Chains A and B, each alone.
Chain A
Amino acid sequence: MSPKTPSDYDPAAAFRVLVVDLAARRGDVALIEGRDRVVGGSGLAALLYEKYGLPDSPAFHPGQPLIFAIGPLTGYFPLMSKTVCGFKSPYVENYAETHAGGRSAMSLRFAGYDALVITGRAAAPAALVVGSRTLKVLDVHYLWGADVFTAGKLLRKIVPGNSGHRSIFRIGPAGENLQAYACINVDTYRHFGRLGAGAVMGAKNLKGVVIHGDSDLPLPENKAYPKLFADIHAKATATDMMEKYHNLGTPVNVLPLNELKSLPWRNLQATADPDAAKVSGEEFADKLLMSNAACSGCPVGCIHVGMLREMFSDKHRFYIRQVPYDHEPNFACGSMLGVTDPKDILALIDAADRQGLDVISAGVALAWATEAMAKGVVTREMVLTDLAFGDAEGYKTALYHLGHKTNDFYAALGRGAGYAGTQYGGGDFACVLGQEMAGYATGETYFVSQTIGFRHSHLDTGAYSFDQKNKDQDIEATLKFLLDDERERVMLNNLVSCLFARGVYKPALIAEALDCLGYSTLAATLDATSETVRNLRWKLKMQTGFDPMKTRIPKRFAEITTWKGPVDAQYMERLRIAYAQRITELVTGGPAATPAIPDAAPGAAPAAP
Chain B
Amino acid sequence: MISWNASGIRIKSSGGVTSGYQAVLCLACDPPPCAAACPTGAMSPRKSGGGVLHKRSVCIRCGQCAAACPVGAIALDADNAPYVCIHCGRCIEYCPHGCLELFDVEEKRPLCQEACHVPKDAE
Contact = CB atoms under 8 A, between A and B. Distances in A.
A33 to B, nearest CB: 39
A602 B14 CA distance: 54
Interface in B74-123: 97-98, 109-112, 114-119, 121-122
Residue with the highest number of chain A CB atoms closer than 10 Å, among B28, B71, B115: B115
Given A153-B22, A157-B71, A146 B119 contact: no
Main secondary structure of the interface of A (DSSP, over half): helix
A146 B110 contact: yes
B27 interface: yes
Contacts, number: 71
Residue with the highest number of chain A CB atoms closer than 10 Å, among B115, B116, B117, B121: B116
Contact of A145 (B109, B119, B121): B109
A158 B122 CA distance: 30
A158 B71 contact: yes
Interface string B12-40: 00100000101000011110010000000
Interface of B: 14, 20, 22, 27-30, 33, 70-72, 97-98, 109-112, 114-119, 121-122
A264 interface: no
A138 interface: yes
B119 to A, nearest CB: 5
B112 A142 contact: yes
A397 interface: yes
B97 A317 contact: yes
A432 B22 CA distance: 41
25 contacts: A142-B27, A142-B28, A142-B71, A142-B112, A145-B110, A145-B112, A145-B116, A147-B114, A147-B117, A150-B112, A150-B114, A151-B112, A153-B22, A154-B71, A157-B72, A158-B70, A158-B71, A312-B97, A354-B116, A354-B117, A385-B121, A397-B119, A400-B122, A401-B122, A406-B122
Interface string A138-170: 111111111100110110011000000000000
A594 interface: no
A12 interface: no
A404 B122 CA distance: 10
- Taking residues whose C-beta sits less than 8 angstroms from the other chain, chain A's interface range is 20 to 34
Interface string A366-409: 00000000000000000011000000000011001101101000
Residue with the highest number of chain A CB atoms closer than 10 Å, among B29, B71, B118: B71
B37 to A, nearest CB: 13
Contacts of A404: 116
A401 B119 CA distance: 10
Contacts of A400: 116, 118-119, 122
B29 A142 contact: yes
B119 A396 contact: yes
A140 B112 CA distance: 11
A2 interface: no
Contacts of B114: 146-147, 150, 153
Contacts of B20: 319-320
Interface in A111-154: 138-147, 150-151, 153-154
Contact of A147 (B14, B29, B72, B115): B115
B30 to A, nearest CB: 7
